[in-house]
């Protein structure tokens, strides 16, 4: 694999050299207390300093960061910048329609956040209450998040692409009493019926007392007088000042749901102090952020990337963050590149799935644009193959912008493994080296570290400030999911190898979590949706490779006796999964199965199904535990060709 030299032009302005990285990294492991203490003082403003930087350990699972420290997230993102940046744009907003653009200064954002914090208070929202946010990518989503943070309420942002059912289960799990939404969203020229979805979700959520609605479009929506309130009406009735609450470092800032390998999505809970320190520090170093730069992360705020690197990281560092409401292909495949030129974007952070889709359309879509403002490119969410990396680096970035391939997770709060621009020689397709304070290891099934270049399970040996606090209301699941397999270590759920130069190569999940177009979906959730259909007796879902989405969903479905497979049933199943989860979870392949391969104790052998779906039949491994070996032969005989012709979408 090639090692790109660091572009010379770039190396002149970097925040860090390779030698400085190595020195700082060593120190961060040797002396984490002083290292993180200095970072916490430099990047965050505290009302009261902490008693201890880190207490507890992975062994005892009682970790706490910056204990007894007091701070406020909104104050750190806004108030403290007002002296120097009040007229600087905090947000540049580009609407779905390219003619709609807004610049919101730090002073304006501050005022709106104060106003909305007062609205929340008037509605009796208190510190520690959970507030559900189901919104499009409009500046108000940032206002609402920071207003929650200002008064110490815990926001729970639910991606606007999730279905009413998925929204309902998240509202119920977090016990939210308020939902903030928009009448409609706009994406790719299409209208998303957000308020209608909320109405549907709330049928089974009687505890929700109020719904606050932002008017994004002029279309009317149904209204419940007792419950629904317009955002713009409420904002007129309140003062533009609201003193920030003093929040404890270990008080939760937000909960964000993500899929696990089993059961319902987990509410990942993040702290205030540790999370903010980590968001600011990683944003500064990984994106080599310099004052005055225009920074654009394309992630929706419904995902962790949107939380940490569209909102908190950049605003903590006083950056101008670009929010984009639309999609990469609307009105044309040039949209990203046009936005970069139009707003002179310096730092651009997106997902491999978007890069693959744009690359497939051809370079002609880049031709009318210069992208000369770019100095850095980033990617996140799934492995980026070397070919796609090369295209991003040489065509999009014209071989002058380093690419930071950042590896992290909802649970980690911020980036754990990534090149640092200017400091790390780049290798196409590798997330390179660990960030400060992060001690990864690759282990075999028994927890022994493997040799260089050997694949194994990626674990993290020591706590870092951005890490999750727990799973909301489910500490047992937190312990079982992340710390049971290798006690004393955090289990990532990813497979990886490390080469002899210390570069990490992360290949993907080793549990039953799928990555469809970078979106995390649990096989269990999809299977539960399939089982809702009265004709279905059993279902098992695995991932197969997809040229654009990275992975696609392949479902094996056994129908009840006497039910004949038909196209109608197949369509109903696809519909059911979309209804339970959302359009991000579309089944690409449905194979009818007379029975599923099971062990004698009745466990479905997913490993075998994965091999069958992927046509990887050379080594089926140990099939001796199968109750009925004939089942496998039948499934192989009826396997669907994983190619465009048999796809459903
Ligand atoms: O499998 C890894 C993959 O995304 C998973 C985490 O998904 P989520 O919690 O949705 O967060 C995504 C954005 C931080 C990981 O377990 N992943 C993330 N980044 C990379 C990656 N896989 C390979 N390379 C990456 N850079």
Is the pLDDT assigned to residue 625 strictly greater than 80?
no
Closest residue by CA, ligand 1 atom 22: 382
Query: 605 — phi, psi (to 5°)?
Result: -90, 85
Record the tokens describing residue 150, joined without a space.
């200002």
Q: Taking Cα atoms as reference points, which of 458, 555, 473, 568 lies closest to residue 507?
A: 458
Is the pLDDT assigned to residue 118 strictly greater than 90?
yes
Q: How far, CA to CA in Å, does 219 sit from each of 193, 194, 210?
A: 10, 12, 21
Record the tokens describing residue 474, joined without a space.
């489910």
pLDDT at 645: 43
| CA neighbours closer than 13 Å in the CB half-sphere of residue 358 | 27
The rounded Å distance from CA 361 to ligand 1 centre is 25
Say whether 72 sits in a helix, a strand or coil: coil
Provide DSSP, 312-338: IHHHHTT-EEEEE-S-TTSS-TTHHHH
CB of 383 closer than 6 angstroms to any ligand 1 atom? yes
The rounded Å distance from CA 341 to ligand 1 centre is 28
CB of 551 closer than 6 angstroms to any ligand 1 atom? no
Closest residue by CA, ligand 1 atom 13: 381
Is the bond preceding residue 12 a cis peptide, omega within 30 degrees? no
Is the pLDDT assigned to residue 133 strictly greater than 90?
yes
Is the pLDDT assigned to residue 232 strictly greater than 90?
yes
Q: How confident is the model at residue 644 (pLDDT cuts 50, 70, 90)?
A: very low
Q: How confident is the model at residue 621 (pLDDT cuts 50, 70, 90)?
A: confident
Which H or E run includes 618?
none
Q: How far, CA to CA in Å, does 408 sit from each of 309, 411, 415, 432?
A: 12, 8, 5, 12
| CA end-to-end distance (rounded Å), the chain | 34
Structure confidence by residue, pLDDT tens digits, 533-586: 999 999 999 999 999 999 999 999 999 999 999 999 999 999 999 999 999 999
CB of 520 closer than 6 angstroms to any ligand 1 atom? yes
Say whether 265 sits in a helix, a strand or coil: coil
Q: How confident is the model at residue 628 (pLDDT cuts 50, 70, 90)?
A: confident
- Provide Rg for the chain, Cα atoms: 24
Structure confidence by residue, pLDDT tens digits, 523-542: 999 999 999 999 999 999 99
pLDDT at 619: 77
Closest residue by CA, ligand 1 atom 26: 407
Say whether 24 sits in a helix, a strand or coil: helix
pLDDT at 562: 93
Is the pLDDT assigned to residue 12 strictly greater than 60?
no
Are the CB atoms for 335 and 326 separated by under 8 Å?
yes
pLDDT at 2: 57
Closest residue by CA, ligand 1 atom 8: 409
Ligand 1 probe mutation, 258, 356, 408, most atoms within 8 A of CB:
408
Are the CB atoms for 584 and 517 separated by under 8 Å?
yes
Provide DSSP, 465-534: TTS--EETT-HHHHHHHHHSSSTTSEEEEEEEEE-TTS-EEEEEESSSEEEETTEEEEHHHHHHHHHTST
pLDDT at 262: 78
**What mean pLDDT is predicted for residues 411-429?**
95
Structure confidence by residue, pLDDT tens digits, 347-375: 999 999 999 999 999 999 999 999 999 99
Provide DSSP, 77-89: HTGGGHHHHTTSE
pLDDT at 648: 62
Is the pLDDT assigned to residue 158 strictly greater than 70?
yes
**What mean pLDDT is predicted for residues 102-119?**
98
The rounded Å distance from CA 492 to ligand 1 centre is 10
pLDDT at 643: 59
Q: Of the given ranges (155-169, 258-272, 473-487), which has the lowest mean pLDDT?
A: 258-272
The count of other CB atoms within 10 Å of the CB of residue 542 is 23
CATH architecture of 3-497: 3-Layer(aba) Sandwich (3.40)
Ligand 1 probe mutation, 265, 381, 493, most atoms within 8 A of CB:
381
The count of other CB atoms within 10 Å of the CB of residue 33 is 10
Closest residue by CA, ligand 1 atom 7: 409
Q: How confident is the model at residue 647 (pLDDT cuts 50, 70, 90)?
A: low
d(CA 295, CA 590): 41
CATH architecture of 513-648: 2-Layer Sandwich (3.30)
pLDDT at 15: 79
Are the CB atoms for 379 and 261 separated by under 8 Å?
no
Closest residue by CA, ligand 1 atom 18: 381
CB of 516 closer than 6 angstroms to any ligand 1 atom? no
Q: In the beta sheet, which residues pair with residue 289?
A: none
Q: Of the given ranges (235-239, 426-430, 482-486, 634-638), which has the lowest mean pLDDT?
A: 634-638
Atom of ligand 1 minimally distant from the CA of 507: 23
pLDDT at 229: 98
CB of 304 closer than 6 angstroms to any ligand 1 atom? yes
d(CA 591, CA 553): 11
Atom of ligand 1 minimally distant from the CA of 508: 1
Closest residue by CA, ligand 1 atom 10: 520
Structure confidence by residue, pLDDT tens digits, 45-96: 999 999 999 999 999 999 999 999 999 999 999 999 999 999 999 999 999 9
Ligand 1 probe mutation, 506, 507, 512, 549, most atoms within 8 A of CB:
506
The rounded Å distance from CA 287 to ligand 1 centre is 17
CB of 305 closer than 6 angstroms to any ligand 1 atom? yes
CB of 494 closer than 6 angstroms to any ligand 1 atom? yes
pLDDT at 588: 96
Atom of ligand 1 minimally distant from the CA of 299: 13
Closest residue by CA, ligand 1 atom 4: 381
The rounded Å distance from CA 380 to ligand 1 centre is 6
d(CA 191, CA 533): 28
The rounded Å distance from CA 175 to ligand 1 centre is 28
All structural domains of the chain with their residue ranges: 3-497, 513-648
pLDDT at 6: 67
Closest residue by CA, ligand 1 atom 14: 409
d(CA 565, CA 557): 10
CB of 152 closer than 6 angstroms to any ligand 1 atom? no
Is the pLDDT assigned to residue 629 strictly greater than 70?
yes
Which H or E run includes 396?
none
CB of 72 closer than 6 angstroms to any ligand 1 atom? no
d(CA 98, CA 331): 8
């Amino acid at each position: 694999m090639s090692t790109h030299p660091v572009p010379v032009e770039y190396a002149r302005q970097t925040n860090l050299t390779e030698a400085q990285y190595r020195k700082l990294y060593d120190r961060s492991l040797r002396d984490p207390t002083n290292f993180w203490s200095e970072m916490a003082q430099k990047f965050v403003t505290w009302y009261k300093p902490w008693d201890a930087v880190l207490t507890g350990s992975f062994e005892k699972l009682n970790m706490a960061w910056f204990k007894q420290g007091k701070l406020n997230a909104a104050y750190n993102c806004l108030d403290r910048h007002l002296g120097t940046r009040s007229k600087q744009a905090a947000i540049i907003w580009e609407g779905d329609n390219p003619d709609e653009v807004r610049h919101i200064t730090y002073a304006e954002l501050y005022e709106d956040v104060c106003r909305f914090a007062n609205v929340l208070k008037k509605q009796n929202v208190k510190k520690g209450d959970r507030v559900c946010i189901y919104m499009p990518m409009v500046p108000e989503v940032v206002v609402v998040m920071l207003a929650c943070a200002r008064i110490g309420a815990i926001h729970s942002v639910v991606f606007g692409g999730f279905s009413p059912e998925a929204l309902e289960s998240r509202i119920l799990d977090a016990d939210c009493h308020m939902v903030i939404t928009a009448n409609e969203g706009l994406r790719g020229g299409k209208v998303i019926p957000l308020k209608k979805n909320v109405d549907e979700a709330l049928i089974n959520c009687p505890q929700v007392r109020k719904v606050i609605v932002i008017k994004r479009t002029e279309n009317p929506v149904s209204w419940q007088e007792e419950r629904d309130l317009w955002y713009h009406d409420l904002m007129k009735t309140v003062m533009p000042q609201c003193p920030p609450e003093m929040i404890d470092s270990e008080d939760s800032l937000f909960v964000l749901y993500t899929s696990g390998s089993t059961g319902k999505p987990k509410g990942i809970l993040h702290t205030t102090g540790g999370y903010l320190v980590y968001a600011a520090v990683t944003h500064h170093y990984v994106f080599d952020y310099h004052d005055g730069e225009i920074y654009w992360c394309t992630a929706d705020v419904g995902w962790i990337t949107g939380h940490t690197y569209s909102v908190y990281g950049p605003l903590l560092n006083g950056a101008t963050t670009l929010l984009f409401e639309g999609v990469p292909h609307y009105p044309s495949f040039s949209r990203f590149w046009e936005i970069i030129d139009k707003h002179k974007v310096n730092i651009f952070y997106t997902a491999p799935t978007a890069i693959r889709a744009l690359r497939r359309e051809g370079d002609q879509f880049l031709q009318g644009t210069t992208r000369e403002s770019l100095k850095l490119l980033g990617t996140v969410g799934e492995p980026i193959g070397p070919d796609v990396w090369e295209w991003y680096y040489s065509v999009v970035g014209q071989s002058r912008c380093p690419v930071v391939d950042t590896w992290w997770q909802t649970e980690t709060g911020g980036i754990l493994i990534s090149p640092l621009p200017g400091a790390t020689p780049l290798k196409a397709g590798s997330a390179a080296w660990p960030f400060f304070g992060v001690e990864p290891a690759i282990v075999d099934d028994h927890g022994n570290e493997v040799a260089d270049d050997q694949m194994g399970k990626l674990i993290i040996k020591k706590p870092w400030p951005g890490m999750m606090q727990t799973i909301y209301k489910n500490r047992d699941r937190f312990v079982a999911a992340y710390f049971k397999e290798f006690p004393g270590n955090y289990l990532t759920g990813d497979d990886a190898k490390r080469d002899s130069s210390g570069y990490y190569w992360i290949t993907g999940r080793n549990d039953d979590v799928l990555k469809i177009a970078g979106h995390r979906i649990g096989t269990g959730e999809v299977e539960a949706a399939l089982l809702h259909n009265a004709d279905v007796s059993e279902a098992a879902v695995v991932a197969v490779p997809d040229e654009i989405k990275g992975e696609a969903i392949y479902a094996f479905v056994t129908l009840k006796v006497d039910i004949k497979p038909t196209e109608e049933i197949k369509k109903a199943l696809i519909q059911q999964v979309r209804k339970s989860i959302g359009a991000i979870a579309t089944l690409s392949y449905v194979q009818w199965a007379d029975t599923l391969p099971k062990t004698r104790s009745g466990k479905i052998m997913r490993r075998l199904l994965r091999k069958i779906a992927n046509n990887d039949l050379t080594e089926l491994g140990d099939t001796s535990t199968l109750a009925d070996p004939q089942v496998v032969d039948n499934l192989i005989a009826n396997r669907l060709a994983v190619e465009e012709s048999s796809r459903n979408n």
